[in-house]
C-alpha cells in the first residue's frame, strides 16, 4: 500500500516555483503526490516529473471537470469538448509518468440537474468515458478512476454500486473505481460492503476524515475501512485529500469554513502517522 497527499493542501495552482513542495512531501514520509490538472497548458510537467523522479516521489493526477467539459451535458458541444479535454489530461498524465487519472472525470464537478440522473445522461457518460478510456489504452498506460462523490457535488454517481455499474458498461480494462471516505460516510450504507462490491475494480482511494480534517479526528470507521481494503487485496494508493482555510479559493470551493489543523504540515504528518498506525495494527493483530 502506498500513501499520497493532495497538492491542494499546499497550493492551488502548482507552478515551477512550487517544486520545493515535492521535497516537503517526501520529507513528511509520503510515497506520492496527487496533482489536480485544472490548467494543463501551464502545468510544468517536465520539471515536475524530473524533480519527482530525482527524489523517488510518485505522481497521480486528478480533475473535477468544468461545466464546459461536462461529459453528461445536454449540450453536445460541451460533451465533445470534454472528451478532447480528457484526452489532453491523459496525455499529460502519461508525460508525468503518473499511474492514475482520478476524480470527477466523467461529469461536471458541482453539476446538478435538479433531478435524478436520466438514462440519456447515463448513455452520454458511458459513451464519452469509453472513448477517453480507449484513447488512454491505445496511447498510454494511464488508468482512469471514477470518483464516487456525494449528492451535493453530483447527482450522477453517489455510491460504489453505481460506479461499478458505470465502469462495467464502459467496458474498458483501464476504467476503475475511485472511493473517497469523505463521500462514503455521507452516501454508503456500509463501508465494508461498498469496498467489497468494488473488489478488484477498486483502483484508487482517498483517505479523508468526515469533516476534511486530520484523519482520526472524525467519524470515519478507519479500522473497518482498512480491513475491507485488505479483504479485496487492495494494495494501491491511499491518498489524503484535505484542504485548509489558508487557500481561500480552495476553501470556498470545498466549503472549508473552520480551521481543521494548525498547518498543512500538521494535517499531513499526523494524518499519515494515524493511517499507517491503523494499517499496521491490523496486520499485527491478524
pTM assigned to the model: 0.97
- Residues 82 and 68: their CA atoms lie apart, in Å, by 7
**Cα-Cα-Cα-Cα dihedral sign, residues 77, 78, 79, 84:** positive
* 58 given a catalytic annotation: no
What pLDDT, on a 0 to 100 scale, did the predictor assign at position 243? 85
> In the CATH hierarchy, which fold is given to the domain comprising 2-285?
TIM Barrel (3.20.20)
Q: Quick check: 9 and 261 in contact, CB under 8 A?
A: no
Grid coordinates belonging to 64: 473535477
Q: Quick check: 140 and 91 in contact, CB under 8 A?
A: yes
End-to-end CA distance of the chain: 17
Of 252, 260, 241, nearest to 103 (Cα)? 241
DSSP string, 145-208: EEE---TTT-SS--SHHHHHHHHHHH--TTEEEEEEHHHHHHH-S-HHHHHHHHGGGEEEEE--
DSSP 33: E
Backbone phi, then psi, for 70, in 5-degree steps? -70, 115
* 241 given a catalytic annotation: yes
Active-site residue, selected from the candidate residues 99, 121, 147, 209:
147
Return all residues near 22 (Cβ < 8 A) that are at least 6 apart. 33, 48, 51, 52, 55, 57
What pLDDT, on a 0 to 100 scale, did the predictor assign at position 245? 82
Based on C-alpha coordinates, what's the Rg of the chain? 18
Find how far residue 145's CA is from the centre of its chain. 8
Per-residue pLDDT of the chain in tens (286 residues, 90 and over written 9): 999 999 999 999 999 999 999 999 999 999 999 999 999 999 999 999 999 999 999 999 999 999 999 999 999 999 999 999 999 999 999 999 999 999 999 999 999 999 999 999 999 999 999 999 999 999 999 999 999 999 999 999 999 999 999 999 999 999 999 999 999 999 999 999 999 999 999 999 999 999 999 999 999 999 999 999 999 999 999 999 998 788 888 888 889 899 999 999 999 999 999 999 999 999 887 6
152: how many CB neighbours lie within 10 A of its CB? Answer: 12
257: how many CB neighbours lie within 10 A of its CB? Answer: 9
What pLDDT, on a 0 to 100 scale, did the predictor assign at position 269? 98
What pLDDT, on a 0 to 100 scale, did the predictor assign at position 253? 84
**What interhelical angle do 45-55 and 20-27 show, nearest 10?**
30
Amino acid at each position: 500500500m502506498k500513501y499520497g497527499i493532495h497538492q491542494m493542501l499546499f497550493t492551488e495552482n502548482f507552478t515551477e516555483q512550487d517544486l520545493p513542495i515535492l521535497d516537503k512531501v517526501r520529507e513528511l514520509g509520503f510515497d506520492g503526490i496527487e496533482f489536480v490538472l485544472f490548467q494543463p497548458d501551464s502545468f510544468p510537467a517536465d520539471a515536475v516529473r524530473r524533480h519527482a523522479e530525482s527524489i523517488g516521489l510518485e505522481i497521480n493526477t486528478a480533475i473535477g471537470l468544468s461545466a464546459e467539459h461536462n461529459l453528461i451535458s445536454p449540450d453536445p458541444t460541451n460533451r465533445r469538448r470534454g472528451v478532447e479535454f480528457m484526452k489532453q489530461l491523459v496525455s499529460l498524465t502519461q508525460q508525468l509518468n503518473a499511474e492514475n487519472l482520478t476524480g470527477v472525470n466523467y461529469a461536471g464537478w458541482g453539476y446538478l440537474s435538479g433531478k435524478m440522473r436520466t438514462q440519456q445522461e447515463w448513455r452520454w457518460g458511458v459513451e464519452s468515458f469509453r472513448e477517453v478510456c480507449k484513447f488512454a489504452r491505445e496511447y498510454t498506460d494511464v488508468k482512469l478512476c471514477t470518483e464516487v462523490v456525494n449528492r451535493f457535488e453530483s447527482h450522477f454517481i453517489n455510491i460504489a454500486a453505481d460506479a461499478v455499474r458505470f465502469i462495467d458498461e464502459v467496458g474498458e480494462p483501464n476504467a476503475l473505481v475511485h472511493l473517497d471516505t469523505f463521500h462514503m460516510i455521507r452516501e454508503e450504507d456500509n463501508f465494508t460492503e461498498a469496498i467489497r462490491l468494488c473488489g478488484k475494480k477498486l483502483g484508487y482511494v482517498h483517505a479523508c476524515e468526515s469533516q476534511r480534517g486530520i484523519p482520526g479526528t472524525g467519524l470515519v470507521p478507519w479500522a473497518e475501512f482498512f480491513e475491507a481494503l485488505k479483504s479485496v487485496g487492495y494494495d494501491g494508493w491511499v491518498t489524503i485529500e484535505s484542504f485548509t482555510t489558508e487557500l481561500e479559493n480552495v476553501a470556498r470551493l470545498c466549503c472549508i469554513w473552520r480551521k481543521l489543523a494548525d498547518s498543512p504540515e500538521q494535517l499531513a504528518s499526523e494524518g499519515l502517522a494515524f493511517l499507517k498506525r491503523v494499517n499496521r495494527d491490523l496486520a499485527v493483530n491478524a
